[in-house]
Amino acid sequence: MLKYRAMTGKDKYTEAAALDTLKTVFGFQAFRPNQESIIQNIVHGRDVFAVMPTGGGKSLCYQLPAKMMEGTAVVISPLISLMKDQVDAALENGIQAAFMNSSMNADEVAGVYRMLRYNKIRLLYIAPERFAMPHFLETLKTFPISLFAIDEAHCISEWGHDFRPDYLSLSLIPKLFPDVPVAAFTATATHKVQEDIINKIGLRAPFIVRASFNRENLFYQVKPKSKVEFQILEFLREHQGESGIIYRTTRDSVMETADFLVSVGVKALPYHAGLSSEERNKNQEAFSKDEAQVIVATIAFGLGIDKSNVRFVVHADLPKNIESYYQETGRAGRDGDPAHCLLLFSRGDIPKIRYFIDQITDDGERSIAIEKLNQVVGFASHNVCRRKQLLEFFGEDYPDDNCEACDICTGSAEQIDITRDAQIIMSAISRTQQRFGTGHIIDIVTGADTKRIRELKHYEIRTYGAGKQKDRKHWRLLVNELLAQDLIRQEGDPYPVLKLTQKGSDVLYGKAEVKALKREEAGTGTKRAREDDSGQYDETLFEKLRGLRKKIAEEHQVPPYVIFSDRTLHEMCRLYPVTLPDMRRISGVGDAKLERYGEDFVAEVRKYRIDHPGIKVPEGRPDDFTYPQDDRSRRKKKGETVEETYELFKKGISLDDIARLRNLAPSTIASHLEQLIRDGQDIDMDRLVDPAKRKEIEELFLSLGQWSLNPVIAHFNGAVSYEEARLVRALLLRGTQR
């Protein structure tokens, strides 16, 4: 247990002394909510954990104690680029401050140590990785330390939105400095993240503060994204003369948007990690000084930015999680005046984020990332007060029915009546005694012919097939909407069932209506078939095959479309191939893919056919559930053909010659070699791709930050083949798995 410090003499904490320091050092006449209690506990030597929203005055909570207490306050901050600004601000307030990070040379670091030795530093800013240096810790123990302040403390939690392994070393602080208080601060932490932070750091009976997450001056709005740059321009015309931030996901989109805005007369500057540090600093300074109206940035911009007059924040792409969205919108209106937060939402952004999530190798981390993505999609798409959703995410209840400061509550969001469809779902729930989960309820309303429905005789329920005119995706989205609006709830684990709430019962029996946001893709289709440019396909089977494709893609560390395109899956969902020869006739299934994945997809289709015996195979297609014996005897076992390619390659035979010897296309042989590379086999890449060319390809892949082949082929204007690009990509992907 940490012993509270007993302050003596003139350093003893009193309200008068704290208020005097507040006024004389920082120039404020009164504390903001929670500040004084946090400061009092720190000065008395108690650990503190504080969740305070952006603009809530966190830095003063450790800067003021640093001024009052003897010794040096060590502040751990993740962003080296901001340390100089933080130190400059402290020096401006008359607080002796310095920083120590990897940007400094040996003489500069030695100078900081000298200042520490002579007790000339009250605030020392350092990066978390410095705690991994034994020499630093041993040296730090020789100086009088007043407190440790950990900024952006959510970085220590794997449940946080910005986990950084370097933060884990901070657990050493309470062990090595048992009599020094530790204060951890963050602007975004759910109760789960809070508990994780406290445990991982090892805070000792901390004083806990959870300030309200409600930023009353912020107006939250979500609009369907269409022509994004013109939507941004239209929004800026409504905010002429005001400063704001526009967030984009990629560096290319940042540059495109910034260039577009400049071309139409808007003073806009880009900010992303691909720019030089000099240019980033110059642009940030210009924005801070109001020399530029708009900064167009990736999420590399914003942490620690203390510009108080940001009047709007636009998310032109979907944020990857609620914490990031809340933190980024929190950079608006820090002065307390009204500010506007606009999110342009398109479901087309979801696969882009999923692509990067699919690159996460750790199953637990990937599952967390998917859950967080689903939460932000729900925020954007549900007809529920935006403020209420945000606060509930952080465990805070918003008591009012109407916040009067979001598009839902002000009625500016376009809504449609979904009462009829809601009643269909809730009737199915009620008529099955509220004992079944989402999948089975959707099977009932869509009239699915499943084994379970037949066994339970749920085809006799009046609601059976009542929603067959619309596809399963429609009904799944509807269930999510009803859950969000608290009309139904899920109970039980790990297989939750759906139950009606009182509000839901009122809708079911016609006492109330229910509305949802109008969806940009709100089309209808048949139960099993949907129209696209390749015709009708079985949507239920498509979802199953897409799940299988995703699983295989994760195993191979490639995007799902590399396995099979959606178009190929659509054709499988029209023709129902149940043998390998049938699968070979599907567009997009070549020899290599048939050999690698054919059996898995055939098995999934066969299983689906057994569960849905009413399916009719298109006219002229075979309907055979057995593999012909002669076909099995001719076909090699899975993996044998790849091994044969490997044996020939080890003999020094070129890719093209192997293709001729085996009577296969060079692309098929390249796919064999690609698999061998990913599997860790010893492949001499110099025989396949010229070393100088390979280096150029690798650098381009890394600069693009994605694995699509087309941009690489286009960049080299035919000088690089698809085979060369895919083999280099395989080598890079293998490196990411180590």
Superfamily of domain 9-210: P-loop containing nucleotide triphosphate hydrolases (3.40.50.300)
| 22 φ, ψ (degrees, to nearest 5) | -60, -45
The confidence score (pLDDT) of residue 588 equals 75
Residue 216: how many CB atoms within 10 A of its CB?
12
Q: Burial code of 168-184, b = ≥16 C-beta within 10 A, e = fewer?
A: bbbeebbeebeebbbbb
pLDDT band at 560 (very low <50, low <70, confident <90, very high): low
pLDDT tops 70 at residue 303: no
Segment 483-497 mean pLDDT: 83
491 by Cβ neighbours in 10 Å (0-12 / 13-18 / 19+) ranks as exposed
pLDDT tops 90 at residue 236: yes
The confidence score (pLDDT) of residue 710 equals 62
pLDDT tens-place string over residues 343-356: 999 888 888 888 78
Least confident of 78-87, 116-125, 180-189, 208-217: 78-87
CA distance 497 to 440: 10
Task: State percent of the chain over pLDDT 70.
Answer: 86
The confidence score (pLDDT) of residue 581 equals 80
pLDDT tens-place string over residues 38-49: 999 999 999 999
Q: Are strands 207-210 and 48-51 parallel, antiparallel or unpaired?
A: parallel
Segment 641-652 mean pLDDT: 85
pLDDT tens-place string over residues 677-691: 877 888 888 899 899
Mean pLDDT of the chain: 82
The confidence score (pLDDT) of residue 329 equals 92
pLDDT tops 90 at residue 562: no
Q: What CATH number is given for 415-516 in this structure?
A: 1.10.10.10
- pTM greater than the 0.85 cutoff: no
pLDDT band at 261 (very low <50, low <70, confident <90, very high): very high
pLDDT tens-place string over residues 511-535: 988 888 876 543 333 233 333 333 4
pLDDT band at 184 (very low <50, low <70, confident <90, very high): very high
Domain ranges (residues) in the chain: 9-210, 218-352+379-393, 415-516, 529-634, 640-736
Q: Where are the beta strands (DSSP E) in 194-261?
A: 207-210, 218-224, 243-247
The topology (CATH level 3) of 218-352+379-393 is: Rossmann fold (3.40.50)
CB 519 within 8 A of CB 380: no
Segment 307-331 mean pLDDT: 88
| 528 φ, ψ (degrees, to nearest 5) | -110, -15
Q: Which of 420, 546, 431, 405 is nearest to 474 (CA)?
A: 420
Residue 637: how many CB atoms within 10 A of its CB?
9
- Among 3.90.1150.10, 1.10.10.1390, 3.40.50.740, 3.30.1330.60, name the CATH number for the domain at 640-736: 1.10.10.1390
The confidence score (pLDDT) of residue 629 equals 38
Give the per-residue SS3 of 616-645.
CCCCCCCCCCCCCHHHHHHCCCCCHHHHHH
Domains 415-516 and 640-736 share a fold: yes
Segment 297-325 mean pLDDT: 80
Q: Which of 524, 220, 501, 505 is nearest to 384 (CA)?
A: 220
CA distance 169 to 188: 21
More confident site: 181 or 298: 181
Segment 144-172 mean pLDDT: 83
Long-range contacts: 135-144, Cβ < 8 Å, 24+? 137/172, 137/176, 139/113, 140/74, 141/176, 141/177, 143/71, 143/72, 143/116, 143/117, 143/119, 144/70, 144/71, 144/72, 144/119
Superfamily of domain 529-634: HRDC domain (1.10.150.80)
pLDDT band at 305 (very low <50, low <70, confident <90, very high): low
CB 389 within 8 A of CB 326: no
CA distance 721 to 655: 13
pLDDT tops 80 at residue 592: no
The confidence score (pLDDT) of residue 529 equals 35
